[in-house]
Chains A and B, each alone.
Chain A
Amino acid sequence: MQLLYENLEQTVAVILFGIGFTILLLQRNLIRKIIGLNIMDTAIYLFLASMGYISGRKAPIVVDGVTEVSAYINPIPAGLVLTGIVVSVSFTGILLALTVRLYRRYNTLDIDVIALLAKGEDA
């Protein structure tokens, strides 16, 4: 427990990941599934971002020409999170577009019902 408390950010991130995962598996509503996916992704970004932080140091923007390692936090996770966010925005866009298509066709958001209706189409 003590160890977990020291890594509080990462602990929270991992629990959020699990919550997102559970939403993804259990919800039948497509919009909720997408929200679950987003929670999962955001949890990973929190995890990544927490990795780069170093206590007492500043954001990696060089001020007054100070270029010492001990002055700034790690810049790499920030860049990775930036990339990851763009990727998840793209995915959310596509999934929502799919949802719009499915809803226009079947007038429901329940994935199981949609699957059944699709199966019945060619009978």
Chain B
Amino acid sequence: MSLVHNFPFFSILLCMVAGIFSSMLKKEAAKWVTLSVSLGVLVLSAFTLHLTLGLDDNYPFMMGHVPAPWGNEIRIGRLEALMATGVSAVLFLSLIAGFYHAPAFVSEQKTNLYCIMVDLALAAVLVLIYTNDLFTVYVFIEIMTIASCALVVVRQNGHTLVAITRYMIMHLFGSGLLLLGIAMLYGITGHLLMEPLGIAVRQLVLTGQYNGPLTVVIALITAGLAIKSAMFPFHGWAPDTYAFAPPLSSAILSGIISKAYIFVMIKFFYRVVGMELIISQQVHQFLFICGVAGMIIASVLAISQRDIRRMIAYSSVAQIGYVYMGLGMGNTAGVEAAVFQMLVHATVKSVLFLSTYELINVSGDRKRFRYLHGAGYRNVPAGIVFTFAAMSMVGIPFTGGFIVKLNLAISGMAFGGWVRALVLIALAMSTLLNAVYFLHTVVSIYRRPTQELVYPAVDPMPRYAAAAMLASLLLIVYLGVGSEPILQVIETGLKTFS
């Protein structure tokens, strides 16, 4: 085993140790540590990606001195490495673009606590991406939940407190379902690691024993993860949380953290229960319907919002609907498109939240659309970034969003009958609705401002923040133009999943 094989473990360890050390650091030092940790994780993950591209299969990494069914382990393949690279790149860019306005939300003595939360959230996301053990999944999901709660609640006004209380109640309910599901699954198979679990589950399906409990287990775990990732009917906590959180936290929450839950779900489907069982139990159709409904209804709700941040929060729910639609198709092409959508949405949504903050900031901290007129002239880079990100959300060619919609449509064409029709109708309607509300926003930020409003002068945003946002734009365009190799990696990576 060469040194590079250890890199995923090193990246997890780096985040955790940095989180623990940040508790003793002063404000500026903690910020620098967090930034360099995300950069370090990006570099380590890039090396891992390079290594795994040369391997045919994934490889296990024992967490301890005993092998798989007895000890914990993580399992590293190219898809995991790709996700880790994407996540850390997005986090790095968001931190550069968003850290400078931390003093507006976090009191000075608590900045290092905020940095702890970012570090440990990244650690938890990495563990969820790499891990091969269901109980580890549970523990680190809890870490992620607490971290995101604290990320939101550093800004202590009434809205965030109420939103986070809702968030916590929903998420703890989700955790309860998840843990009950894991407990039942353990009870009928006697394993916690995913590979032995997969073998045991297939055995159970063959013998027909415990099939009732197995169905309930799948339902419980899927529902738990769906609640936590804001799938459509369970999205109640999401809009307020995303809208009232500090912008950097919204970017991290909706861009990165919600993806980790879905990645775990994909892992659970492929590795533990197997896609055949999911399809024969009709779970995928439930996800499909929820995804389609979310795409349309959340977009309609987004149109009716008068606060720009709530609009983007609802569009986040709609975008999660795309992921679930892809996942719910049940064929490889659909899941591929879903994974690609996760990457695209992570990039686009984080940059959208950050640029929206800039636009609001130059409009005197007012969020309604009618005050935003002319914001695109008052802060030119943020306006450009917002416009391009909105174009990706709508699905203009040469952006990542276009590739996602194209792939979803192609994988929908593989079906006949109502599935194909529903996919195409949902995509068309969602594109139309997206165009309506993003066009409205873009038009209003480039509109001549009403005379009666006086906009206070604010400090221009620092050059490095603008550069980071433009870099995210390049990433979006890259995902739209150079998507072929990434899709290839996703396709071959999914094969090593089962």
Q: How many residues of B contact A (CB 8 A)?
A: 26
* Chain A residue contacts of B187, Cβ below 8 A: 51
- Interfacial residues of chain B within 169-187, with CB under 8 A of chain A in the complex: 169, 172-173, 176, 179-180, 183-184, 186-187
Complex CA gap A102/B139 in Å reads: 28
Residue of B135, B164, B176, B184 with highest tally of chain A CB at under 10 A: B176
User: Does B149 sit within 8 A of A, measured CB to CB?
Assistant: yes
- Interfacial residues of chain B within 132-146, with CB under 8 A of chain A in the complex: 135, 139, 142, 146
Contact partner of A102 (CB less than 8 A), chosen from B146, B161, B180, is B161
* Chain B residue contacts of A102, Cβ below 8 A: 161-162, 165
* Chain A residue contacts of B172, Cβ below 8 A: 37, 91, 95
Contact partner of A111 (CB less than 8 A), chosen from B153, B165, B176, B186, is B165
User: Does B168 sit within 8 A of A, measured CB to CB?
Assistant: yes
User: Does B158 sit within 8 A of A, measured CB to CB?
Assistant: yes
* Chain B residue contacts of A95, Cβ below 8 A: 165, 168, 172
Complex CA gap A72/B382 in Å reads: 65
User: Does A90 sit within 8 A of B, measured CB to CB?
Assistant: yes
Complex CA gap A44/B179 in Å reads: 7
- Interfacial residues of chain B within 297-332, with CB under 8 A of chain A in the complex: none
Q: State how many angstroms separate the Cβ of A32 from the closest Cβ of chain B.
A: 12
**Cβ-defined contact, A98 with B153, below 8 A:** yes
**Cβ-defined contact, A83 with B139, below 8 A:** yes
Complex CA gap A8/B159 in Å reads: 44
Q: Given A101-B161, A118-B161, A87–B183 Cβ distance below 8 Å?
A: no
Residue of A nearest to B150 (CB): A94
* Chain A residue contacts of B161, Cβ below 8 A: 98, 101-102, 105, 118
Interface of chain A: mostly helix, strand, loop or mixed = helix
Residue of B nearest to A105 (CB): B158
* Chain B residue contacts of A20, Cβ below 8 A: 176
**Cβ-defined contact, B179 with A118, below 8 A:** no
Complex CA gap A115/B167 in Å reads: 13
**Cβ-defined contact, B168 with A48, below 8 A:** no
Q: Given A87-B139, A101-B156, A102-B162, A24–B169 Cβ distance below 8 Å?
A: yes
User: Interface digits, A1-26 against B, CB 8 Å rule (1 contact, 0 not)?
Assistant: 00000000000000001001100100
Q: State how many angstroms separate the Cβ of A83 from the closest Cβ of chain B.
A: 6
Residue of A nearest to B172 (CB): A37
Residue of A nearest to B165 (CB): A98
**Cβ-defined contact, A114 with B162, below 8 A:** yes
Residue of B139, B156, B180, B192 with highest tally of chain A CB at under 10 A: B180
**Cβ-defined contact, A51 with B165, below 8 A:** no
Complex CA gap A83/B176 in Å reads: 14
**Cβ-defined contact, B173 with A21, below 8 A:** yes
**Cβ-defined contact, B183 with A115, below 8 A:** no
User: Interface digits, A74-110 against B, CB 8 Å rule (1 contact, 0 not)?
Assistant: 0011001001100100110011001001100110000
Residue of B nearest to A74 (CB): B190
Complex CA gap A44/B494 in Å reads: 33
Q: Given A44-B183, A80-B135, A83-B135, A117–B169 Cβ distance below 8 Å?
A: no
User: Given known contacts A51-B186, A101-B161, what 4 new A-B pairs fall within 8 Å (CB)?
Assistant: A41-B179, A47-B180, A51-B183, A87-B139
Q: Which 3 A-B pairs have the closest CB atoms?
A: A118-B158, A118-B162, A51-B187
Can you pick out 30 interface pairs between chain A and chain B where the beta carbons lie within 8 Å of each other? Answer: A17-B176, A17-B180, A24-B169, A33-B169, A37-B169, A37-B173, A37-B176, A40-B176, A41-B179, A44-B176, A44-B183, A47-B180, A47-B183, A48-B186, A76-B186, A84-B179, A94-B149, A94-B168, A101-B161, A102-B161, A102-B165, A105-B158, A105-B161, A111-B162, A111-B165, A114-B158, A115-B162, A118-B162, A121-B157, A121-B158
